[in-house]
Structure 1
Amino acid sequence: MMWTPTKAGPETSTLQPRTTFPMRESPDQHEAPAIARAEPATHYTWGDGCDGWRLVESTKLRVREERIPPGGAEPPHLHRIGRQTCYDLSGTLTVHLPGETCRLRNGDLLYVPAGVAHEVRNDADVPVRFLVTTTPAIAGDREETGCQRAPSSSGKPGSPRR
């Protein structure tokens, strides 16, 4: 993150938000308001035609916007420490959990606790866009479970992720 201190007044904060791509923790670890936007500089690809944008990248919190085309998916996996949320922006996001399948639609949010295996996929005919948050965001915390992937509505397993 980039930090822009200002003089404090009765109706002002001591820090002004500044747009950065992606937002990162400052060297002194102080938090301040910041604005992030999905831009080409933060774009990455994964799987077969899936897209992602890094919005916030810190050890305390990771926020990404992701897009899965019809039929796309990621292998079943879990995070030993990180807790995740998936917030559906558009389309229908299918999430397979142990013993349960959730279908998120625009405005739905799913919380996945640490240690819970899950598979995210798009079984619909249109792309799905969603936000993923992870806290804390620790490198190497994602572990494929080796479970068999759930078939899509077409009966085919989805494409692998990263």
Structure 2
Amino acid sequence: MKISKHNAEHYLWGDNCDGWHLVKNQELSIIHEHMPGNTSEVRHYHLHSRQFFFILSGSATLEVNGQRNILKPQEGYEVPPQVPHQIFNHTGSGVELLVISQPNSKGDRVLVNNKFT
């Protein structure tokens, strides 16, 4: 079946950000996400899931284990399991990105207290 953010399961996360499940099974998750300007996710890590963040449009900052990485369109970053990370949109414009998790990260997230801004 053909899938897009127009017919995929939708959910809200973080600071009024959107997510659409393009692939959602036990072994793999592919989510199309939209982050409005000046939003972020909470800092966390995954026990088992490896994630890949890929920017479709806009620019985001991905903090990984204390290191800030600016990601622009057509750039990505892989985050191994058990590595703290947090994504930010410090711009006034929206960011569109894909988040690919293997295995699925549902129920695998551990929040980290120290926060980066």
TM-score, L = length of structure 2:
0.93
Match for residue 96 of structure 1 among 57, 63, 66: 63
Q: Please identify which structure carries the higher strand content.
A: 2
Q: Structure 1 pair 38/121, CA: closer, same or farther in 2 (3 Å)?
A: same
Please give the alpha-carbon distance, in whole angstroms, between the structure 2 residues aligned to 1:58 and 1:103: 30
Select the structure with the greater relative contact order (CA < 8 A; seq sep ≥ 6).
Answer: 2
> Gaps (5+ residues) in structure 2?
none
Match for residue 48 of structure 1 among 1, 10, 15: 15
Q: Return structure 1 stretches of 4+ with deviation > 3 angstroms.
A: none
1:43-86 deviation per Cα after TM superposition (whole angstroms, max 9, x unaligned): 11122321110100011100000011111001100001000000
Please give the alpha-carbon distance, in whole angstroms, between the structure 2 residues aligned to 1:125 and 1:118: 22
Give the drift of 1:99: 3.2
Question: Alignment RMSD, CA only?
Answer: 1.3
TM-score, L = length of structure 1:
0.68
Give the drift of 1:143: 0.9
Q: How many residues align?
A: 117
Match for residue 107 of structure 1 among 60, 65, 74: 74
Please give the alpha-carbon distance, in whole angstroms, between the structure 2 residues aligned to 1:139 and 1:45: 14
Residues 61-140 of structure 1 correspond to what in structure 2 (within 5 A)?
Answer: 61-140=28-107
Amino-acid identity (%): 32
Match for residue 27 of structure 2 among 25, 46, 60: 60
Letter of the aligned partner of 1:150 in structure 2? F
Q: Structure 1 pair 135/50, CA: closer, same or farther in 2 (3 Å)?
A: same
If you compute each CA radius of gyration, which structure gives the higher value, 1 or 2?
1
